[in-house]
Homo-oligomer: A and B are copies of this chain.
């Protein structure tokens, strides 16, 4: 038995909610094959957020072009006794043939704005739902949490130590891509680092110190092997640990880059450690702190004036503790060129092909967004770009460094209210164009007519 439980590319088609396949079979049998439009968006920001960073959607679109149902997977499906031979044969020939437009990786995104739109024959669009949502949710949730820590750190380095408590290896690995995009400095995750080019970083665990009878001996040995390393000083007594580091450097000539504090009153201990290090003339030794940090506790440490040079963040980043999910949804918004809507009181859904225009003020700062029909032209920046056309990737693949630059620029262009950790008093101004609103009202009317239909 395979205890790793990896997902192989050839199994991708079965990484799907059953109803996508039963609906697809129904469409197939009814020959509902006209083009449809699906919109991936969310309706509400998590309570304490002012924006989300859209991440994963470009990669997800590219992955969709690789979706296949090879014979072995069709056999699995046949075993469920739900699918006809005719449909399974159709699935065996499945290729995505549609178009996908996405927000570039790392784009700040707001409620009702499409992260992605799929235009394709109805069945094809339907079959992508689960895969796209799972894939995009994961990176968007993680990048959106990570960027808050980057903001809170006010220029200090933020390093990801969280893989051990993340939800499985897929989140832990692709999380590193999201973290690099969001602006983290490094990760402890070796494979993630190798795959996604965020520098690998690590210090030592308490167990390392404990394995030696003597803390000094543990420090000495580590510093000999890794000149310039970071030493974890709080296994027994933090201040005595700092004193040992000072002796190691001053008396024994070792090179130490930083100390790490991982317990106790971090601000207080950072101040005391800094004082001792400076008095010893070791102002080049940096202080990094960790231990259950999130963006709020990081902000507190900085507000307390603690001389901290970097943060190691773990679990609260890795599971996006305050908002482990967003209400991302993938909705049918057009079929046979007609707008489609579900009648959900209070849940506004914008029909048809859309474009998001972002406007900046005279200082280059975010001013407002306008969601328009895609046929409208505006004098701002249009955000959605086509990355898949007729089932084939078009344009360059995303470059993570470019995505990171995009986030960096966005942080410069969003005002302080948007960058605050708490929800701004006034939400970012998202406008809906007159034409789109008109379409929305027409679609709503069509829905009411349908809803009042009594016979069918």
Q: Which A84-125 residues have C-beta < 8 A from chain B?
A: 122
Closest beta carbon of chain B to A176's beta carbon, Å: 10
Contact mask for chain A residues 45-67; partner B; CB cutoff 8 A; 1 contact, 0 none: 00000000000000110110010
A343 CB–B CB distance under 8 Å: yes
Cα distance, A133 to B216, chains bound together (Å): 29
A426 CB–B CB distance under 8 Å: no
Residues of A within 8 A of B (CB-CB), count: 130
Q: Which A385-426 residues have C-beta < 8 A from chain B?
A: 397
Select which of B7, B20, B137, B335 is within 8 A of A165 by beta carbon: B137
Cα distance, A447 to B164, chains bound together (Å): 27
Which chain B residues lie closer than 8 Å to A188 at the CB level? 17-19
Which chain B residues lie closer than 8 Å to A3 at the CB level? 59-60, 62-63, 66
The reply to whether A456 and B216 form a contact with Cβ atoms under 8 Å apart is: yes
Select which of B19, B135, B321 is within 8 A of A324 by beta carbon: B321
A362 CB–B CB distance under 8 Å: no
Contact mask for chain A residues 288-322; partner B; CB cutoff 8 A; 1 contact, 0 none: 00000000000000000000000000011011110
Which chain B residues lie closer than 8 Å to A217 at the CB level? 456
Cα distance, A171 to B164, chains bound together (Å): 13
**Interface segment, A206-214, A273-281, A434-442?**
A206-214
**Interface segment, A27-35, A146-154, A353-361, A365-373?**
A27-35
The reply to whether A324 and B319 form a contact with Cβ atoms under 8 Å apart is: yes
Contact mask for chain A residues 321-334; partner B; CB cutoff 8 A; 1 contact, 0 none: 10011111011100
Which chain B residues lie closer than 8 Å to A379 at the CB level? none
Select which of B134, B206, B342 is within 8 A of A206 by beta carbon: B342
Closest beta carbon of chain B to A382's beta carbon, Å: 25
Closest beta carbon of chain B to A452's beta carbon, Å: 8
Cα distance, A217 to B194, chains bound together (Å): 53
Select which of B32, B168, B191, B226 is within 8 A of A167 by beta carbon: B168
Closest beta carbon of chain B to A98's beta carbon, Å: 15
Cα distance, A142 to B63, chains bound together (Å): 27
Select which of B167, B169, B209 is within 8 A of A15 by beta carbon: B169
Closest beta carbon of chain B to A208's beta carbon, Å: 5
Cα distance, A7 to B244, chains bound together (Å): 41
Given contacts A164-B137, A320-B324, contact A240 B26 (CB under 8 A): no
A-B contact pairs, 29 of them (CB 8 A): A3-B63, A4-B12, A6-B8, A15-B173, A17-B202, A22-B226, A26-B208, A36-B211, A122-B211, A129-B164, A133-B164, A134-B168, A137-B166, A167-B170, A207-B331, A210-B332, A210-B341, A211-B335, A211-B340, A213-B450, A215-B450, A216-B453, A216-B455, A219-B456, A236-B447, A236-B451, A237-B343, A240-B452, A320-B324
Given A170-B170, A213-B450, A240-B452, 12 additional A-B pairs, CB 8 A: A4-B63, A18-B201, A19-B203, A36-B211, A134-B164, A134-B168, A167-B171, A168-B174, A236-B450, A237-B343, A240-B451, A324-B324
